[in-house]
Amino acid sequence: MQKFLHDVSSLRILQQQPPNHMGSRRSQIATGQHSSPTVYPIKRGKIKSSRQKETNAVTDDPEKAKASEHRIDVGDENSNLLGYNVYSGKLSLVKKSKSSNADEKTGFAAANLDSTDAKLSSKALVWGSQMLCFEDVISVSYSSGVRHFTVHSYIHRKSRLPCIFKPQRSQKDFCFLASSLEEAIQWVSGFADQQCFVKCLPHPMASSKKSSDLLASIPFFDQQPIKCKSPPRVLVILNPRSGHGRSTKVFHGKVEPIFELAGFIMEVVKTTSAGHARKLASTLDFSTCPDGIICVGGDGIVNEVLNGLLSRENQREAISIPIGIIPAGSDNSLVWTILGVRDPISAAMTIVKGGLTATDVFAAEWIQSGIIHYGTTVSYFGFLSDVQVTRLDPKKLNCTVQRLVKSVKLKASGNNQKGCGIDGELLKMNGQVMCSLLPQQCRLMGRPVKDPI
CB-nearer residue toward ligand ATP: 150 or 282? 282
Q: How far is the CB of 183 from ligand ATP (least distance, A)?
A: 48
Q: Which is nearer to ligand ATP, 260 or 331 (CB)?
A: 331
Residue 350 backbone phi and psi in degrees, to 5: -60, -40
CB of 364 to ligand ATP, least distance (A): 16
Stretch that binds ligand ATP, among 2-10, 157-165, 206-214, 293-301 (CB under 6 A): 293-301
Tell me which stretch binds ligand ATP (CB under 6 A): 18-26, 32-40, 291-299, 374-382. Answer: 291-299
CA-to-CA distance for 150 and 154, rounded, in angstroms?
A: 13
- Rounded Cα distance between 68 and 252, Å, is 51
**SS3 label, residue 453:** coil
Least distance between ligand ATP and beta carbon 284 (Å): 16
Whichever of 231 and 300 has its CB closer to ligand ATP, that residue is: 300
Q: Which long-range contacts (CB under 8 A, 24 or more apart) does 204-210 make?
A: 204/104, 204/105, 204/106, 204/107, 204/143, 204/146, 205/104, 205/105, 206/144
Q: How far apart are CA 78 and CA 198, in angstroms?
A: 27
Q: Measured from the CB of residue 304, what is the shortest distance to ligand ATP in angstroms?
A: 5
Is 285 one of the annotated active-site residues of the chain?
no
**Minimum CB distance to ligand ATP smaller for 26 or for 244:** 244
Tell me the DSSP string of 147-169: SEEEEEEEEEEPPSSTTTS--EE
# chain residues binding ligand ATP, by CB under 6 A: 19
Binding mask 297-336 for ligand ATP (x = CB under 6 A): xxxxx--x------------------------xxx-----
Strand arrangement of the beta sheet that strand 433-437 belongs to: 372-375, 362-366, 433-437, 427-429
What part of residues 223-282 is at the interface with ligand ATP (CB under 6 A)?
239-243, 271-274, 276
Measured from each CB, the residue nearest to ligand ATP is: 298
Q: Catalytic: which of 299, 343, 360, 386?
A: 299
Residue 410, C-beta contacts closer than 8 angstroms, at least 6 positions apart = 362, 364, 375, 378, 379, 380, 381, 427, 429, 433, 435
- Over its C-alpha atoms, the chain yields an Rg (Å, rounded) of 26
Give the nearest distance from C-beta 237 to ligand ATP in angstroms. Answer: 9
Find, among 182, 118, 129, the residue nearest to 151 by Cα. 118
CA pair distance 40, 28, nearest whole angstrom: 7
Q: How far is the CB of 246 from ligand ATP (least distance, A)?
A: 9
Contacts of 442 (CB under 8 A, 6+ apart): 306, 309, 319, 323, 358, 359, 361, 376
* 210/244 with CB nearer ligand ATP: 244
**CB nearer ligand ATP, residue 125 or residue 238:** 238
Please identify, using beta-carbon distances, which residue of 155 and 309 lies nearer to ligand ATP.
Answer: 309
CB of 252 to ligand ATP, least distance (A): 16
Longest pairwise C-alpha distance within the chain:
85
Show which residues are catalytic. 299
Residues near ligand ATP (CB under 6 A) are: 239-243, 271-274, 276, 297-301, 304, 329-331
